[in-house]
Structure 1
């Protein structure tokens, strides 16, 4: 099957480095990962040959990335906790602090992301609630192998992932797609660098859960 016929999620799982290409072309491989690549490309009016060429290029590169599809659920869960849950708890409050400062100092300037600090605090609250449910309920069940009992919790987590995706869309709207205006100060640029990293981390986080951890748990036994 050609790359264009495959879903974005399957490509993200199969090709190490594919997510970097998807970030570059702003293709959603986490919440929107179940659509074929050709449909996602058409929706964004991209050059299909260019996207495929870049994917084929990274496909040829050696990779040291872990293939989480074959890992034990406990190993993937531990990685998610250490790499993403702990990180988001640091990222979001610090980014909200920087956003508040930018809004306070530059509120009269074109392009100032008014409302961004409040939105980041809202995202922080939603993420904290979501992560606690995973840590206290779903992840222990998955580690114990109780896959027959996780369908409901997984459905809820997938739904909340969609909400996180909407949060990223609002973040993009408030910041001109995380693009600082010409002449932006150091703090403003540091804020947008951090927002870019948050977006990439959160999308990778959701991808690993939706397309690998949850998908494996719901496979027919």
Structure 2
């Protein structure tokens, strides 16, 4: 087992050790849309000071424990693009299709019931529904246009297909950045999805589902930006 170094990127670290995503999230280190820079640089870019050596030591200690517990890394590099697409659709697209509408109902409900006492719920309502519309259109374009092109390229390495995929990827990455902005706004508005002291059951359920949505979507974007799209970046 090779330990991580400061030269490794957050994106590559999460690729080997998925639970590192939780560590990066807690410290606001981006491993998703902007995760392809060395860890040392990512730490330097942070507004809040972090002891890099201590952070790396804790990261490697957690990784070793995870490994000793019998967890095994997925070798993403051995997975074909078609297999990766199946994983993304089953684990992430299906999740969003199941959750976006019900979460939207809860966000709307708490805004209507508690908006007078908690005015920030108006912005939560606004950002959530922009996120929902963006992701629904995004998934449709991926499944109808991008993914079939990548699967065709998996079978036949055609230069024209490569160029089409590369151009579409640029649009998809822009969508990802927008989705991340919406998630960040919702995260900040809700103090990290921490319910107010007087929160009712619906309030707490909404926040719990939003927290899970954030976690699933960040992993979703990571797999696409840093694995699926990567062969088409040159």
Question: TM-score w.r.t. structure 2 length?
Answer: 0.85
User: Which 5+ residue runs of structure 2 have no aligned equivalent?
Assistant: 154-160
CA contact (8 A) 1:111 1:175 kept: no
For residues 175 and 70 of structure 1, the distance between their equivalents in structure 2, rounded to whole angstroms, comes to 39
- What secondary structure does 1:114 align onto? helix
What is aligned with 2:8? 6
| Distance of 2:143 and 2:5 partners within structure 1 | 35
Instruction: Judge conservation of contact 2:4–2:60 (CA < 8 Å) in 1.
Output: no
- 3-state DSSP of counterpart to 1:5: coil
- 1:6 and 1:66 map into 2 onto residues whose CA distance is 18
Gaps of 5+ in 1: none
Compute the RMSD of aligned alpha carbons: 2.1
Cα distance in structure 2, aligned partners of 1:17 and 1:173: 22
Instruction: From 176, 179, 191, give the equivalent of 2:206.
Output: 191
Kept in 2, the 8 Å contact 1:8–1:29? The answer is: yes
Q: How many residues align?
A: 219
| Distance (Å, rounded) in 2 between the aligned partners of 1:122 and 1:155 | 20
1:114-157 C-alpha deviation (Å, 9 max, x unpaired): 23223222211111111111111111011111434311011111
- Could you say which residue in structure 1 is the equivalent of 2:80? 72
What is the TM-score normalised by the length of structure 1? Answer: 0.89
Between the aligned partners of 2:119 and 2:106, the Cα distance in structure 1 is 16
